[in-house]
């Protein structure tokens, strides 16, 4: 894409996201996640800090794989309780001008006609600053609460997701002509009926005649984010995603993923350079290296290892309470999140991980690298990844809220700005900010073909 370092704040409308135990740090504000004022402050800080977007992860279901019980997850706030992120967006958009909002929604438990309407509405209300992070959901407990007897297998989830997006693309891109809305009061014609078309979708999972119920929004299709890591997930991402986020602890793991997905995107007739990559990263910054290292030690000591095991058990669909802590993790193809499995079994071919090591490492931001240093050292590392690993920026993972974000904005942002590494944020839409071009999907994307 460019030499800019694009930044997304990776967060969740919940007490805990990916750093179990962090809510107990002195001064941590995670419990304020239910307050609108908390989120409007986060939005203002992220915009001031040069972030492109706030990225909201989201989950359905409760983490009950560990010990075959939900007790640890509920007791330790493992992504429970968690509120719906969608409703935060208008409030956060109201207090910002350019900040984008990536919202995670599941294609497994929603209907595309309904979701297309939700995102059109958000895109209107944010003047084109919204992205859709497409997930297929991994917790069995979600499936059972949403009317199924068991979780759909991954192949079916992704098949459904492909068709789901095709329905959405048709509603967003093809249903309303650009000049359909005329608002001609003299003739009494708000919309020219000939400019609004059915989509007549008939498929394996959905029959949707259309037309779309919303007039075109600035971006029409929201920016499409995805994070598939399995073979099927990578195909899905290569076909659909404009931006991909991943979480691998090593440069090699991220590089392999980036190169593989760019090749696959080219096979779909897409421009491989128009796929943006955002690995997760956990910055721990201090005014000096020693201060940063001391902070890192404090954060490490605050990790809730058991809660981390409960979180990972859900990610892997593997009950880690049943394994000996010194047992090595063997590679499997999981029906839950393959990326988490690959992080431990493939991202460094020379390393084997035991259950204990996995739990200790993952307590700060799960499987992403932790970058500890003074502002120059952290900026050097971010710049180096963009130059050498071929990524476009980062999903910045918080540990202490809002301390981690505040530290970053106070210390790292000025350094990145000084080096001219932050994008200018002068585009009209999130897509323009990320790719430096117009508000619409490129012609090579399947939604436009």
Ligand X SMILES: Cc1cc2nc3c(=O)[nH]c(=O)nc-3n(C[C@H](O)[C@H](O)[C@H](O)COP(=O)(O)O)c2cc1C
- List of residues contacting ligand X (CB under 6 A): 57-59, 104, 106, 135-138, 227-230, 233, 245-247, 280, 337-339
Task: Work out how close the CB of 331 gets to ligand X at its nearest, in angstroms, rounded to a whole number.
Answer: 13
Query: What ranges make up the beta strands (E) of 185-331?
Result: 189-191, 201-202, 207-208, 223-226, 243-246, 276-285
Q: Residue 234 has which token pair?
A: 């990578």
Look at residues 128, 121, 394 and name the one whose alpha carbon lies nearest to residue 282. Answer: 394
**Alpha carbon of 27 to those of 31, 179, 371: distances in Å?**
11, 53, 22
Task: Work out how close the CB of 191 gets to ligand X at its nearest, in angstroms, rounded to a whole number.
Answer: 36
Task: Work out how close the CB of 17 gets to ligand X at its nearest, in angstroms, rounded to a whole number.
Answer: 9
Task: Work out how close the CB of 114 gets to ligand X at its nearest, in angstroms, rounded to a whole number.
Answer: 18
Task: Work out how close the CB of 339 gets to ligand X at its nearest, in angstroms, rounded to a whole number.
Answer: 3
Cis check: omega of the bond before 429, within 30 degrees of 0: no
Residue that has been written with the tokens 């099927």 in this structure: 232
Task: Work out how close the CB of 347 gets to ligand X at its nearest, in angstroms, rounded to a whole number.
Answer: 12
> Nearer to ligand X by C-beta: 97 or 333?
333
Task: Work out how close the CB of 102 gets to ligand X at its nearest, in angstroms, rounded to a whole number.
Answer: 10
> Nearer to ligand X by C-beta: 157 or 295?
157
Q: Which residue is nearest to ligand X (CB)?
A: 233
β-strands 370-373, 393-397 pairing: unpaired
Look at residues 210, 151, 149, 225 and name the one whose alpha carbon lies nearest to residue 175. Answer: 210
Residue that has been written with the tokens 């899905």 in this structure: 236
Task: Work out how close the CB of 135 gets to ligand X at its nearest, in angstroms, rounded to a whole number.
Answer: 4
φ, ψ dihedrals at 105, nearest 5°: -135, 150
Residue that has been written with the tokens 């080219």 in this structure: 266
> Nearer to ligand X by C-beta: 133 or 217?
133
> Nearer to ligand X by C-beta: 229 or 413?
229
* Residue 288, number of CB atoms within 10 A of its CB: 12
Compute the C-alpha angle 108/230/86, nearest 5°: 35
Compute the C-alpha angle 32/48/221, nearest 5°: 85
Helix (H/G/I), strand (E/B), else coil: 306? helix
> Nearer to ligand X by C-beta: 358 or 427?
358
Beta bridge pairs of residue 56: 11, 103
Look at residues 113, 110, 134 and name the one whose alpha carbon lies nearest to residue 198. Answer: 113
């Amino acid at each position: 894409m460019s030499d800019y370092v694009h930044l997304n704040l990776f967060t969740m409308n919940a007490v805990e996201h990916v750093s179990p135990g962090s809510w107990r740090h002195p001064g941590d504000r995670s419990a304020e996640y239910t307050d609108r004022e908390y989120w409007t402050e986060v939005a203002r800080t992220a915009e001031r800090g040069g972030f492109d977007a706030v990225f909201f992860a989201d989950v359905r279901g409760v983490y009950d794989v560990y010990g075959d019980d939900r007790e640890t997850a509920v007791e330790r706030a493992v992504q429970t309780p968690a509120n719906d992120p969608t409703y935060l967006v208008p409030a956060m958009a109201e207090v910002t001008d350019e900040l984008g909002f990536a919202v995670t929604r599941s294609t497994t438990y929603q209907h595309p006609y309904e979701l297309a309407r939700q995102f059109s509405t958000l895109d209107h209300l944010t003047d084109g600053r919204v992205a859709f992070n497409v997930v297929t959901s991994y917790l069995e407990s979600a499936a059972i609460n949403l009317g199924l007897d068991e979780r759909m297998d991954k192949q079916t989830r992704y098949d459904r997701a492909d068709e789901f997006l095709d329905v959405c693309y048709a509603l967003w891109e093809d249903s309303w002509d650009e000049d359909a809305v005329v608002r001609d009061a003299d003739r009494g014609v708000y919309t020219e009926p000939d400019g609004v078309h059915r989509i007549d979708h008939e498929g394996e999972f959905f029959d949707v005649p259309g037309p779309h119920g919303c007039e075109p929004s600035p971006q029409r299709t929201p920016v499409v984010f995805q994070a598939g890591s399995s073979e099927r997930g990578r195909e899905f991402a290569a076909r659909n995603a404009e931006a991909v986020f991943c979480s691998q602890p090593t440069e090699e793991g991220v590089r392999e993923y980036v190169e593989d997905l760019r090749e696959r995107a080219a096979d779909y007739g897409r421009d491989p350079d128009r796929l943006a990559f955002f690995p997760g990263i956990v910055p721990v910054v201090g005014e000096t290296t020693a201060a940063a290292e001391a902070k890192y030690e404090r954060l490490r000591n605050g990790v809730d290892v058991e809660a981390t095991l409960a979180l990972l058990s859900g990610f892997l669909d593997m009950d880690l309470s049943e394994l000996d802590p010194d047992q090595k993790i063997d590679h499997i193809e999981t029906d839950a999140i393959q990326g988490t499995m690959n992080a431990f079994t493939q991202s460094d071919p020379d390393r084997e991980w035991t259950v204990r090591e996995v739990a200790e490492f993952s307590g700060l931001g799960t499987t992403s690298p932790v970058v500890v240093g003074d502002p120059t050292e952290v900026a050097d590392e971010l710049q180096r990844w963009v130059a050498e690993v071929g990524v476009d920026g980062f999903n910045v993972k918080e540990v202490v809220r809002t301390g981690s974000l505040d530290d970053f904005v106070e210390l790292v942002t000025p350094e990145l700005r000084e080096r001219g590494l932050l994008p200018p944020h002068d585009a009209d839409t999130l897509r323009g900010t990320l790719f430096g071009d117009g508000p619409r999907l490129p012609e090579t994307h399947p939604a436009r073909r």
